[in-house]
Amino acid sequence: MMDFLWNLASFVIALGILVTVHEYGHFWVARKNGVKVERFSVGFGRALWRKTGKDGTEYVLAMIPLGGYVKMLDERIDDVKPEDKDKTFNSKTVYQRIAIVAAGPLANFIFALFALYIMFLIGVPSVKPMIGNISPSSIAAEANLTKDSEIVSIAGDKTRNWQEVNLALIGQIGNQEITIKTKNSDSQYISSFTLDTSNWEFSPDKTSALTSLGISPYRPKVHNELAAVAEKSPAELGGLLVGDKLIAVNDVLTDDWVAFAKEIKQYPGKEVSITIKRNDEILTPLVIPNSIEQAGKVIGYIGVAPKVDAWPKSLLVELSYGPIDSLQESAQRTWNLTSLTFSMIGKLITGDVSVKNLSGPIGIAQGAGNSASHGFVYFLGFLALISINLGIINLLPLPVLDGGHLLYYLIELFTGKEVPEKTQEAGFKFGALALLMLMAIGLFNDFSRVLG
């Protein structure tokens, strides 16, 4: 329940920021071009808060936080006083209307650049992408990719941490091969490997791009020994102590932490005997795991953490830059994310990427919650990614979106005539239907991931 509330709050905050940015782009350029703005609303439906400014615009915060709008004076919709006719949207030149409509998506790209600039200025704690293991008979194994080596680039894109590795790999979906360059920790020599991905089966809802290729990131060794026991947890109530070495659960041997956690998860609300070694004594305390929900399933949880070796300092890096270099880094990241998004849209159209990979509001909410829980800089990175996606989606030539309006205005620009209203209305109906279908697919995929 707490995870749900955290994800929901993070989602509302993220979407509220991005919608406000988008609509402010329309609002600011409209005002600069002499258009009267009657209402600036963040959200739809019933107003939770409203205020009329000195500029005559009504500012509204509405109940449903799934979008927003800027209502401009328009003779095609409103009864306009003679003295206000030059303040209507429809009275402006086609160039002015194009500028007003394009300003929303442009504001999203500018915000992404700003968010990433602040992120790099603060610094992003990262881990170098060191390969921990290669699965036998995997795509990576067949390419002779080796463990204990650092991935330095993928298809020519520099990779300084695992996030950049994952983004680069996702961008290669649908390609027949991927070139990965690595270097050993004790050498600066760069090795190049070509992965045959013609039969690459990657389902983001089931596994990561790395795992599907047979690559496991390096992780510090996890010992089968307790390093922490939560206060008033089932483990503490059952008598477990820091330093206890874990041997078995209900007589099932657990020779590592993963095996121990797997066994505990199978017994939500049921008493289990845990065999431990404390000093030189073997004990079997009884514990009743709490029941918690994880990924739509109820699992057992006893409130303990294992002893883990520290990360080698040589693998820890902070992507932090000065004012000038941060601008360069943020511009490059914005460009990379924009290119990746356009590439994914293209591959969705061609069928190289399945529509099963689309996410709806639930997936976005989970992403917002996860990034926010990791810290402010990661939340900034998430905001930048979604802002870019929002900007690009709004540029799609669907009549109900900004891109559809721009399409009509470009036709008007070249023909010298406005697109007939009946044609526009038919286009809006088609655009609304297409958008609803995409949203339905995203929601279906979200529920499938949560429930399956």
Write out the catalytic residue numbers.
23
Q: Which residues contact 4 (CB under 8 A, 6 or more apart)?
A: none
Burial of 357 (0-12, 13-18, 19+ CB in 10 A): middle
Could you give the C-alpha distances from 376 to 118, 124, 173, 325, 371, in angstroms and in order? Answer: 10, 10, 30, 20, 8
Residue matched to tokens 């996030």 = 163
CA 65 to CA 48: how far, in whole Å?
11
Contact 228, 304 (CB under 8 A): yes
Supply 171's token pair: 């961008």
Per the CB < 8 A criterion, the answer to whether 236 and 272 are in contact is: no
Interstrand relation of 177-184 and 252-253 (parallel, antiparallel or unpaired)? unpaired
Please give the Cα distance from 23 to 272 (Å, whole number).
56
Signed CA dihedral, 411, 417, 422, 424: sign only: positive
Burial profile 411-446: b = 16 or more Cβ within 10 angstroms, e = fewer: eeeeeeeebeeeeeeebeeebeebbeebeeebbebb
CB-count exposure of residue 176 (10 Å: 0-12, 13-18, 19+): exposed
